[in-house]
């Protein structure tokens, strides 16, 4: 029992090693935690390339694992996002808020409170650990959840983590593997700690000691290393085996203050565009995309990363549409940002608050 760590920079083979360890433990019904639901099928394909048949084991996200653990005991229904929005508005109704009442009338106040509550719950904080109006509003939100017999996602996570730590029947000893996490919420950390006391837990994390590029991960790494108690496997850099020399050099020297060694030529591996304004920059990107597509690149295999789609969507659609570049935008639109959603939520609010 205990925690094992696999560390190293990007493309060092951490995930491949973790998957091999997962296959070695297949007879023990291991659980593999991946970052997102979309990663499940990809990981299954990667495993099938290593082994033609998978008989045993489970793959899912942290949320999948939390729900699986919670289902084994007493569990409440989990409130949907729409329900949480209405619950927090009810918690706000009828409270003076010491001068914040005018602000509380607007939807943005409730949204900000929901985000704050989520941060508090992910940090495993209770209302009695706070003070002021925030403590009052947080307590009102929790009381409304209790009245309805509901949890939100973070309360379910907390319940599951505490159950593994306190209930012997919560986990049967299956080994756990996890990768793709650069930060952990309070509930995720509590779950890993509890599981490490019950079974073998192996975690892969991108980290290299002394590298400025990984400085933000130092605290997470230190906490995991303390739990691992010396059981750390460090993998050597291997990015130069798969990347162009210019990109490999950039990866090794990123954010470093030391004088770099002689840099190899970029040879097109990294290019910089200079343009006047957002529209001009996106037109240059569009022309580059056209050149790639005409040279045989598959459009579905080309990705564009934007700071935020909310501000960039309109100029992006204009630039790419004008040039005839095929594209698809991957993003979520909140229900209350659509005309239908605003009408529906107004109707529900009217019914919920009794007119």
pLDDT confidence tier of residue 125, bands split at 50, 70 and 90: very high
- The whole-number pLDDT of residue 158 equals 93
Rounded to an integer, the average pLDDT of 139-153 is 93
Using the predicted structure, report yes or no on whether residue 101 has a pLDDT greater than 60.
no
Spatial distance between the Cα atoms of 136 and 342, rounded to a whole number of angstroms: 28
pLDDT at 21 over 90: yes
Average pLDDT in the chain: 89
Q: What is the pLDDT of residue 120?
A: 93
**Do 307 and 282 form a contact (C-beta atoms < 8 A)?**
no
Pair 266, 246: CB distance under 8 Å: yes
Give the residue with greater pLDDT, 189 vs 307. Answer: 189
Of residues 148 and 102, the one with the higher pLDDT is: 148
Whole-number Å distance between alpha carbons of 219 and 183: 9
Tell me what pLDDT residue 103 has.
61
Report if pTM > 0.85.
no
Pairing type for strands 77-78 and 58-60 reads unpaired
C-beta atoms surrounding 6 within 10 Å: 23
What is the pLDDT at residue 338?
85
Buried b vs exposed e over 167-206: b needs ≥16 C-beta within 10 Å? eeebbeebbbbbbbbeebbbbbbbbbbbbbebbbbbbbbb
User: What does DSSP assign to residue 268?
Assistant: T
Q: Of the candidates 161, 1, 160, 10, which has an alpha carbon nearest to the alpha carbon of residue 75?
A: 160
User: Which has the closest alpha carbon to 109: 142, 134, 76?
Assistant: 134
The mean per-residue pLDDT over the stretch 215-226 comes to: 92
pLDDT tens digits, residue range 31-87?
Answer: 999 999 889 999 999 999 999 888 889 999 999 999 999 987 777 899 998 899 889
Angstrom distance (rounded) from CA 64 to CA 48: 22
pLDDT digits (tens, 9 = 90+) for 293-302: 999 999 999 9
């Amino acid at each position: 029992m205990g925690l094992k760590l696999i560390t190293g920079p990007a493309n060092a083979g951490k995930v491949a090693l973790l998957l091999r360890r997962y296959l070695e433990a297949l007879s023990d019904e291991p659980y593999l935690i991946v970052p997102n639901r979309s990663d499940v099928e990809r990981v299954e394909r990667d495993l099938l390339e290593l082994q033609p048949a998978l008989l045993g084991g489970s793959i899912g996200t942290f949320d999948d694992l939390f729900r699986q653990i919670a289902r084994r005991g007493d569990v409440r229904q989990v409130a949907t996002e729409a329900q949480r929005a209405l619950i927090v508005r009810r918690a706000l109704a009828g409270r003076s808020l010491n001068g914040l009442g005018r602000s509380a009338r607007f939807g943005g106040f409730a949204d900000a409170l929901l985000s704050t509550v989520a941060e508090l719950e992910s940090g495993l904080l209770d209302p009695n650990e706070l003070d002021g109006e925030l403590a009052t509003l947080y307590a009102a939100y929790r009381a409304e959840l209790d009245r309805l017999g509901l949890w939100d996602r973070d309360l379910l996570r907390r319940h599951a983590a505490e159950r593994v730590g306190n209930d012997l029947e919560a986990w049967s000893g299956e080994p756990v593997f996890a990768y793709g996490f650069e930060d952990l919420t309070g509930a995720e950390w509590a779950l890993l700690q509890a599981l490490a006391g019950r079974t073998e837990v192996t975690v892969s994390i991108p980290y290299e000691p002394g590298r400025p590029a990984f400085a933000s991960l130092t605290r997470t790494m230190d906490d995991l290393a303390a739990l691992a108690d010396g059981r750390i496997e460090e993998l050597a850099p291997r990015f130069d085996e798969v990347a162009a020399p210019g990109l490999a050099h950039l990866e090794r020297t990123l954010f470093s203050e030391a004088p770099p060694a002689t840099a190899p030529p970029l040879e097109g591996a990294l290019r910089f565009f200079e343009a006047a304004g957002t529209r001009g920059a996106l037109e240059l990107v569009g022309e580059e995309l056209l050149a790639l597509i005409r040279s045989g690149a598959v459009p579905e295999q080309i990705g564009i990363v934007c700071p935020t789609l909310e501000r960039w969507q309109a100029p992006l659609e204009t630039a790419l549409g004008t040039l005839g570049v095929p594209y698809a935008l991957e993003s979520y639109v909140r229900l209350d940002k659509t005309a239908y959603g605003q009408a529906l939520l107004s109707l529900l609010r009217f019914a919920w608050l009794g007119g």
